[in-house]
Amino acid sequence: MLGLSPIQRPGETLALTLLFAMNDLFEAYIGALVVRAARQRGWKARLQSSLPFWEKITIRPDIVIEADGRRIILDTKWKVLSSPRPGMDDLRQMYAYNRFFAAERAFLVYPEVNGLGDHQGCYHDPDRHLGCGLLFVSLFEGKYWRQMRENACSLQ
């Protein structure tokens, strides 16, 4: 990276480039705030809880919340969506989390971009009423904490 500009293009000026694993940072930030919010409500929140999935492979959502005898799954995604429609792979992943963790609701948590609002949908599973929602979280202007608290209260 020496000799490159901060935007990773060749340049004439020597500049320091910093790269961050934003997926990991976003997950850790959301996880810490959810654990604190859950504790304040008397709920349990576990980070990176895993279950056996296939042979020696485990399935592990970012956050599992246990509230009033129910489980809620949160999985963070450092992605920019142009519409409130997640990718098929993300929906399949959340469906597996719903089934393996016996959770009626799972939520994909994205950074708020493009003014998208929270959205909820249900899977077409005749045996179960399972849902997957999208939460868009503002990371600016102190909105995050209030918004996350409101979203956590409405997850049921």
What pLDDT does 124 receive? 76
The per-residue pLDDT for range 69-97, each reduced to its tens digit, is 899 999 999 998 888 888 999 999 999 99
Quick one: average pLDDT of 141-155? 58
**Residue 141 clears pLDDT 70, i.e. is over it:** no
pLDDT, tens digit, 9 for 90 and up, residues 98-135:
999 999 889 999 998 877 777 777 777 777 778 888 99
Using CA atoms, how far apart are residues 46 and 79, in angstroms rounded to an integer?
Answer: 23
The predicted-structure confidence for 11-65, as pLDDT tens digits, reads as follows: 676 666 678 889 999 999 999 999 999 999 999 999 998 888 889 998 999 999 9
Provide CATH code, domain 22-153. Answer: 3.40.1350
How high is the pLDDT of residue 144?
Answer: 55
**Cut 0.85: pTM above it:** no
**Which residues are CB-contacts of 133 (< 8 A; sequence separation ≥ 6)?**
105, 106, 107, 108, 118, 119, 120, 121, 155
pLDDT of res. 61: 95
- Burial label, 39 (beta-carbon count in 10 A; 0-12, 13-18, 19+): exposed
